[in-house]
Amino acid sequence: MQTMELLSPAGNREKLDMALAYGTDAVYLAGGAFGMRAQAGNFSDEELALAFEKIHKMGKKGYVTVNVLPKNEDLHGLPAFLSLLEDLRADGMILSDLGVLALAKQYAPNVPIHISTQASVRNVEAAKQWVTLGASRIVLARELSLGEIAQIRAGLPSEVELEAFVHGAMCVSFSGRCLLSNFMTGNRDANRGECTQPCRWQYALVEEKRPGQYFPVEETKEGTYILNAKDLCMIEHLPALKEAGVSSCKIEGRMKSSYYTAVTTNAYRMALDQMAKDPEWTCPAELRAELETVSHRPYCTGFYFGDVKNNESHAEGGYIRTCDVVAVVTGPPKNGLYPAVLKNKCRVGEELSLLCPGLLPKNFTLSALFTENGETTEEIKTPRSSFWLPLPGGPPVNAIIRREIS
């Protein structure tokens, strides 16, 4: 079976490194402007050049987001940025605005056009029109079922690719076209990359003649999160996505941690590789469990199976996770010890686990610690400090050391 593309988020250089190390086929990333995640860190022009050098050297692909819904003042620097993408031989640019598309065809004629989920493509005729305008890939609206995706696939030329989200946060508004952030903050426009996620905030009911008195929407003293969507997780249903005609499996999360990028990429990489070898594949419980270790809201399957009753979580606004990152391996071993950079403090004698690309985690007991200068110590606790430790199995750079949260 031909494997679907795995597409991972690369919000900054560290997340890019993790996505590539843990086996993605392609990444999506943004420059300093024009992308829908202005707070993600993103890449300067110089950093984009270095990123694409690394991406292409590894035989991977990079798609650049140019998917803001721009106002007139946002267009001034766009021709120069599009010309940069042409020079960098970007493998695709993700856009949703007709004006941006026209400029892209003028200033970056050799960069493939991917139509963003912001365009809310929900039917085959809309998809056909985007293809007529030059699109080679459609990033489908999140509101589609598998059956509807199959209908769109059947109505398009075979060379047109369909990309669909398989994991991560879902927007409570129609394919991300939301005015709530702008309305609530006055200047943080979700459609120009600055969403404050007010759909995740806690809300209560106020009666107009009783100002200052807040009433829970349901019977709990904490109130309720009435707009709070669950997170999407489709790792157990990848065969159904493939059967529907999905070409690329997209993980949401440029704003999330590098650990999130590594774990989700690793789990979906292993799942897709196993599925390619076994037509009767079903997802191992161990892979599904890996996705519980990252920070997330309760999982659901979105709109794919038509039942959307369980897509919102009204009882809580926080995140769930089962593991903390302790450190990340930064280089090859010397004298049997591995260099690492600390994320959270650790002590000799702790029970930890080691996550390496392409493998499930391996448990071990931390038997020794050494400072950057080689001195023996019982504890390392300064964040971002470098240290040395023994590790099992010869882990590579970017291997992750973690602990289970009790």
Phi, psi at 175, each rounded to 5°: 45, 40
pLDDT tens per residue, range 279-325: 999 999 999 999 999 999 899 999 899 866 566 554 555 678 899 99
How high is the pLDDT of residue 66?
A: 94
Span 175-198, average pLDDT: 66
d(CA 124, CA 153): 8
Check whether 11 has a pLDDT greater than 80: yes
Task: Tell me the mean pLDDT in the region 98-127.
Answer: 96
**Beta pairing class for 113-115 and 135-139:** parallel
Mean pLDDT of 204-214: 75
* Segment among 44-58, 160-174, 281-295 with least mean pLDDT: 160-174
How distant, in Å, are the alpha carbons of 108, 113, 337 from that of 192? 21, 19, 47
- Given this model, what pLDDT does residue 221 score? 53
Query: pLDDT at position 178, please?
Result: 66
3-state secondary structure the chain: CCCCEEEEECCCHHHHHHHHHCCCCEEEECCCCCCCCCCCCCCCHHHHHHHHHHHHHCCCEEEEECCCCCCHHHHCCHHHHHHHHHHCCCCEEEECCHHHHHHHHHHCCCCCEEECHHHCCCCHHHHHHHHHCCEEEEECCCCCCHHHHHHHHHCCCCCCEEEEEEEEECCCCHHHCCCHHHHHHCCCCHHHCCCCCHHHCCECECCCCCCCCCECCCCCCCCECCCCECEEECHHHHHHHHHHCCCEEEECCCCCCHHHHHHHHHHHHHHHHHHHHCCCCCCCHHHHHHCCCCCECCEECCCCCCCCCCCECCCCCCCECCEEEEEEECCCCECCEEEEEECCCEECCCEEEEECCCCCCEEEECCCEEECCCCEECEECCCCCEEEECCCCCCCCCCEEEEECC
Q: Do domains 5-175+228-300 and 323-404 have the same CATH topology?
A: no
Lookup result for tokens 């990333």: 29
Q: What percent of the chain has pLDDT over 70?
A: 86
* d(C-alpha 404, C-alpha 406), whole Å: 6
In the CATH scheme, what is the homologous superfamily, with its name and number, of domain 5-175+228-300? Answer: Aldolase class I (3.20.20.70)
Look over the chain and give the mean of its residue pLDDT values, rounded to a whole number: 89
Q: How confident is the model at residue 183 (pLDDT cuts 50, 70, 90)?
A: low
Q: Where are the domains of the chain?
A: 5-175+228-300, 323-404
Contact (Cβ atoms closer than 8 angstroms) between residue 8 and residue 41: no
pLDDT over 90 percentage in the chain: 72
**Predicted local confidence at residue 312, as pLDDT:** 59
pLDDT of residue 1: 47
Residue 172's identity, in one-letter code, is V
Average pLDDT over residues 150-175: 91
Beta bridge partners of 401: 327, 354
Confidence of residue 243 (pLDDT cuts 50, 70, 90): very high
Please compute the mean of the pLDDT values over residues 139-152 and round it to a whole number. Answer: 95
pLDDT confidence of residue 346: 97
Report the C-alpha gap between 189 and 185 in whole angstroms: 9
Question: Given this model, what pLDDT does residue 52 score?
Answer: 98
* pLDDT score of 270 more than 50: yes
Q: Give the number of residues written for the chain.
A: 406
Task: Compute the radius of gyration of the chain from its Cα atoms.
Answer: 22
Topology of domain 323-404, per CATH? Answer: Elongation Factor Tu (Ef-tu); domain 3 (2.40.30)
pTM: 0.88
Tell me how far apart the alpha carbons of residues 70 and 48 are, in angstroms, rounded to a whole number.
21
Phi-psi category of residue 94: left, alpha or beta, with phi > 0 → left and psi -120 to 50 → alpha: beta
pLDDT score for 308? 64
Q: Give dist(CA 398, CA 35) in Å, integer.
A: 27
The amino acid at residue 223 is G
* 13-27 exposure pattern, b = at least 16 Cβ within 10 A, e = fewer: bbbbbbbbbbbbbbb
